[in-house]
């Protein structure tokens, strides 16, 4: 793993999802602000640990599904399939009850699908700033 790829993917994920997660947890999931803070404190290191693996997963998934799936669908499925299980674990550990898990998890699932393409564009933009190729290439290629 190259440091530049790690930093770019991490910056993209942390910057994009910290605010979204907090708003979802409080306003949709009904978690208190102290619970939200706890979730974000757990979430930040997890985002650092998972940002690059997600970037590799996304690149592989887009390569595998395109065509026949349009990139808007592939990006949505890639983000949903990778991030939702992690998110549910974070809010469960942070004290979310079953109702909060179901409500926040369902909303988060829909949002991950909807935000898949915007986040994919953001990730590609951050990668471009770092002089990296955009997603969708084979993870083991000379470019990836």
Question: pLDDT averaged over the chain?
Answer: 88
Check if the beta carbon of residue 13 is closer than 8 Å to that of residue 54: yes
How far apart, in whole angstroms, are the C-alpha atoms of residue 57 and residue 73?
15
pLDDT digits (tens, 9 = 90+) for 120-140: 999 999 999 999 987 644 444
Check if the beta carbon of residue 47 is closer than 8 Å to that of residue 10: yes
pLDDT digits (tens, 9 = 90+) for 64-106: 997 888 989 999 999 999 989 888 988 898 899 999 999 999 9
Whether pTM exceeds 0.85: no
């Amino acid at each position: 793993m190259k440091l530049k790829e790690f930093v770019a993917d991490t910056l993209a994920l942390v910057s994009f999802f910290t605010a979204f997660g907090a708003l979802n947890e409080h306003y949709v999931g009904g978690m208190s602000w102290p619970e939200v803070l706890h979730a974000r404190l757990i979430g930040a290191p997890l985002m650092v640990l998972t940002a690059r693996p997600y970037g590799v997963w996304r690149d592989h998934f887009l390569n595998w599904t395109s065509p026949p799936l349009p990139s808007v669908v592939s990006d949505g499925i890639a983000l949903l399939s990778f991030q939702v299980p992690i998110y549910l674990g974070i809010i469960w550990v942070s004290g979310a009850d079953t109702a909060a898990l179901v409500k926040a998890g369902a909303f988060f699932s829909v949002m991950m699908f909807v935000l898949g393409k915007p986040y994919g564009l953001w990730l590609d933009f951050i990668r471009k700033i770092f002089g990296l190729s955009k997603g969708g290439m084979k993870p083991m290629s000379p470019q990836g």
